[in-house]
Structure 1
Amino acid sequence: KTTCVYLIAKALEEAGYKVGYTSTAMFNDGKMEWLNDKKMTMVGRFFSQKMLKRMVENGCQYAIIETTSEGVVQFRHKFINYDILVFTSLYPEHIDSHGNFENYKTAKGGLFEHLKTCKTKYVDDDKRVVRADTDIKKLDLSRVKKTIIVNLDDEHSGYFLDFWAERKIGFTRNGSMVKDGSDLEIIRYGDINASQFGTEYRLFSGGLGKQKDEAGRLEVSLQLLGEFNATNSMTAFAVGFSEGIAPEPLIRGLRNVTGIPGRLERIDEGQDFTVIVDYAFEPKAVLKLYGVVNVLPHNNIIHVLGSTGGGRDVARRPKLGDIAGRYADYVIVTNEDPYDDDPEIIMDQVSLGAENSGKKIDKNLFKILDRREAIIKALNLAKKNDIVLVTGKGSEQAICVANGEKIPWDDRAVIRGILSNSEEGAGF
């Protein structure tokens, strides 16, 4: 979701609009962009609403709010008048707080149920919202249709399409079965080519502009790695399509994105091996990460990972270890965010999964409690053309430990400091 927020924002900015957003990784109020140091996506105490006020004051025409299931359950979406809701995918996450998958899906659905209660807005030709007390009949204004956008290739897309909306748009890779008589507008894409240099694909329908080839297709090129980023970028095209924005500036905006903080972020200090920092903390996300990494030319893969405490999903711990054990040549299990849990127990549970996949303690599997020392171990093991993965935290700015304490931390800064023998990251 964080990647989608960023891609939609950059595409709209290239189309000439001022955009603000809140996400797990970053905040932007239309004037400044800064890292999210709150350790949560939807911050409480009406933080999102206050950010929206700042965006309006700063002249933003669009606001993008990464909205979480936990945020909905805690009513942090209240009094936000959404206009477009985007569903990307659904897989088991935050089960610890929701109890089971059905509750999790229902919590997500609560946001879509909320759409029908959101106030109608009118905008001028510059996409600026006009105050509700304005006499709209005297002005040439457009009513913003309440819209749902879904990834049709996700098995749960039908659930979200069943909610009320004035307009429904779906995007699908190459094709999707849609019932006759459906009012769903469909954008198709495909011919994805994901390589070590980026990701290319074609749009086949849906608001295509002047850059179509002879077969009526539109070429899209991303600097981002991974087939899943083709899907992520489709959210930007769908939003643009819903707003009547030509695809050409959207393509430029997407092409100019070189990376998202803490999402497949490469750390380059001149070393002869690759270092990648990624937020992936769920098994499915880690599997997707390996799908990208395996495309890159490499010798050995060295993976530094842990798992979260604080009552989070305990069952995923050995699964994470199992995935790392199967796909990495060396696995280093370390501390992540233990909260009030015993970090040694968490590490043992992750390590067990790696051991069950054939890794041997102190041979190709290491348990190092201190996260900095674990990263140092990985970097020391790395040789030319190896890949070092550091996962679980991405661009997060703290490690959460017992009694609500947050220890300042940034995987990326720590790695840069170690690689460059500089003071960067020394304070963590």
Structure 2
Amino acid sequence: MKLKELVEQLRIVSVQGELDVDITGITMNSREVKQGDLFVCIAGIPGLQEDRHLYIDHAIEAGAVALIVERDIVAQVPTIKVPNARFALAMLSTHFFGYPSHNLKLIGVTGTNGKTTTSHMIEAILAHANYRTGLMGNIGTKIGNTIVKSNINTQEPHKLQANLAKMKNCSTDYCVMEVTSQGLDMGRVVGCDFRTAVFTNLTNDHLDYHGTMDKYLMAKGSLFSRMGNSFSYEHSKHKFAILNADDPASEVFHGLTTAQVITYGINKQADVMAEDIQLTVKGTTFRLVSFAGTVTIECSMIGAFNVYNALAAIATALAEQIPLHLIQQALSEFRNTSGRMEIIEASQDFIVIVDYAHTPDAFSNALSTLRELADQRVITVYSCEDDHDEGTTFSRIRDIAAKHSDVVILSAEHLSKETTNSMTQEIANGQGIYATSNNTTCELMPNGPLAIKRAIELATTGDIVFIAGHDYKTEVQHILKEYQNRHWEEVGNVVRTEDIPIRA
């Protein structure tokens, strides 16, 4: 595509150089530049992304044949100055790849917790109904049975649009995409024509980036406010907002969107509801009451929060007119997303659950559920991180762990030396939250595998071992295998004298 065609998409530009240049790709990362690329110099975000104007020379050396910039630059290739390089990146990427979201049905899932599980449930129901599906989120990009991993959840526009184009070329019917608040705020999904927007919940998170809950709320709300302001007689152009009636933020999003709203919930009256909920440590059963009918839903998911995730997926599927019996079948066959309240079986006589719960709200939901379901002890393993902001402080998570667990085993591998030393002293002295009133014991281990090994060593018949904070599924499977053989092969580190757990 000619540079001239791309530049014509923008109205406020200043051009230096000739525009009769062939563009074969678009990128904002100088390390990924290939010959013929347009290099977009986005402005930096302190602590998150570097200013790409600093890498212009490197990009040109690597083969960039034109630049998008936000300030006056003298370069040996055509240079287009724009007010907002991020917006330009999204617009030009969308045009370059042929507006792919117009040719498939795009479903965006946003919220603090539950995005991954809900997205996977929606995708599973659509696939069960024989639609060709794509998935974008924590796992990367999934087209059919092929998965390409990504290092971020909501991808940057040039990669996101390229992957949507691949889905379009594979005749994909639906793409289900996790949409983060940062991705929305940074304009990563600008240019995406969402057919459906799904909201899970809103709790304190990412305040180190957004600053306030109001700004966090508005970032999420932009997904709903950007869904257009017109109606169409064509079925494929209908738009839907799937909102959690039990979350107050839904009222805001309802007012922001012109899409047809479908609500789901447990406590407040909604279009799609769960009644007679039966929770066990092996799965969940509830009666689904909806505008399409009433059926019993059985699934292997654990906890009331997963009932909400299931309801969001069901409401989305009903918007697509998928029959209730197919939804029922799909959810009965659905297995937890890897690392999301996933039961790890190795014929042990206690239960081991791995969950990537890393926000206080998600952690509390998961652990309080297990506390209610536990016949014996709850042993919690958590991989600590230094505090970054009030919404995701490790101190809150430690408090939750102490409240709902009989034994807490902490891993210090992601902590600074100073924090580790401080925790070591507090645990040894039984100070602060480690001076628990419910007889909870606390231990500190140097890394995750050793913490997991210690928990499994302590577990007895009927206990629940809950491993949260990081994806340790592979390590857990390996340690359980060794447990079965009663032969402990060291994982990650050799246990030294100084690695003996510190207890409170």
Tell me whether the two structures share a fold, i.e. TM-score over 0.5.
yes
- Tell me, in whole angstroms, the C-alpha distance in 1 between the residues paired with 2:146 and 2:213: 37
What letter corresponds to residue 178 of structure 2 in structure 1? E
Preserved CA contact (<8 Å) 1:273 1:384: yes
Aligned with residue 316 of structure 1, among 372, 390, 393: 393
Q: What's 2:129 paired with?
A: 15
Q: What's 2:292 paired with?
A: 207
Aligned with residue 344 of structure 1, among 412, 420, 437: 420
| 1:186 matches 2:271 | yes
| 1:416 matches 2:477 | yes
Q: What's 2:318 paired with?
A: 241
TM-superposed CA distance for 1:319, in Å, is: 1.1
What letter corresponds to residue 5 of structure 1 in structure 2? S
- Tell me, in whole angstroms, the C-alpha distance in 1 between the residues paired with 2:187 and 2:157: 11
Q: Whose RCO is larger (CA < 8 A, sep 6+)?
A: 1
Q: Summarize deviations over 1:270-306 as a string: whole Å, max 9, x none.
A: 2222111101112221121123313444322211113
Between the two proteins, what is the percent identity of the paired residues? 27
What letter corresponds to residue 9 of structure 1 in structure 2? E
Q: What's 2:83 paired with?
A: none
Aligned ranges 1:97-112 → 2 under 5 Å: 97-112=209-224
What letter corresponds to residue 8 of structure 1 in structure 2? I
Cα 1:31/1:195, change in 2 over 3 Å: closer
SS in 2 for 1:20: strand
Corresponding pairs, count: 372
Preserved CA contact (<8 Å) 1:305 1:336: no
The structure with more radius of gyration: 2
- Tell me, in whole angstroms, the C-alpha distance in 2 between the residues paired with 1:204 and 1:346: 52
**TM-score normalised by L of structure 2:** 0.67
Q: What's 1:357 paired with?
A: 436
Cα 1:166/1:371, change in 2 over 3 Å: closer
Q: What's 1:95 paired with?
A: 207
SS in 2 for 1:27: strand
Q: Summarize deviations over 1:343-400 as a string: whole Å, max 9, x none.
A: 627956996664153488xx92112222222222222222222221110113xxxxxx
Cα 1:370/1:49, change in 2 over 3 Å: same
TM-superposed CA distance for 1:105, in Å, is: 0.7
Aligned ranges 1:18-417 → 2 under 5 Å: 18-25=132-139, 27-33=141-147, 36=149, 38=151, 40-44=152-156, 46-116=158-228, 142-173=235-266, 175-176=268-269, 186-208=271-293, 217-309=294-386, 311-313=388-390, 316-335=393-412, 337-338=414-415, 344=420, 354-358=433-437, 364-394=441-471, 411-417=472-478
Structural RMSD (CA): 3.0
- Tell me, in whole angstroms, the C-alpha distance in 1 between the residues paired with 2:166 and 2:417: 38
User: Which structure 2 segments of 5+ residues have no match?
Assistant: 1-114, 494-504
Preserved CA contact (<8 Å) 2:205 2:391: no
Q: What's 2:498 paired with?
A: none
SS in 2 for 1:116: coil
- Tell me, in whole angstroms, the C-alpha distance in 2 between the residues paired with 1:259 and 1:276: 11
- Tell me, in whole angstroms, the C-alpha distance in 1 between the residues paired with 2:392 and 2:122: 34
TM-superposed CA distance for 1:121, in Å, is: 9.0
Preserved CA contact (<8 Å) 1:416 1:424: no
Q: Summarize deviations over 1:99-143 as a string: whole Å, max 9, x none.
A: 1211111111122222228x9999xxxxxxxxxxxxxxxxxx634
Cα 1:269/1:98, change in 2 over 3 Å: same
- Tell me, in whole angstroms, the C-alpha distance in 2 between the residues paired with 1:200 and 1:253: 14
TM-superposed CA distance for 1:84, in Å, is: 0.5
